[in-house]
Amino acid sequence: MALDEPKESDNVYDVNGFQFVMDKDFDEKAKPVTVDFLGYGFKISSSIEFGPASACSSCGSGDGCG
């Protein structure tokens, strides 16, 4: 999710005073898309399966990540 201005190739959705802009082709692939505000950030759900998130268990231990 990022701030962006709408383009000809975008769908624009106005929801509760917020404007959401999504590329039309991606929108078709991802439908349905749900954006929830959780108080500390946003949770975005769609029909696209991304698989499990990876985490680096050694971060902060001085070993470094990546």
- Quote the domain boundaries for residue 28: 10-45
Q: Is residue 31 situated within a structural domain?
A: yes
Q: Is residue 65 situated within a structural domain?
A: no
Domain count, the chain: 1
Q: Is residue 17 situated within a structural domain?
A: yes
pTM over 0.75: no
pLDDT digits (tens, 9 = 90+) for 8-24: 999 999 988 889 999 99
DSSP string over 22-59:
EEHHHHHHH-S-EEEE-SSSEEEE-S----PPP--TTT
pLDDT value for 65: 54
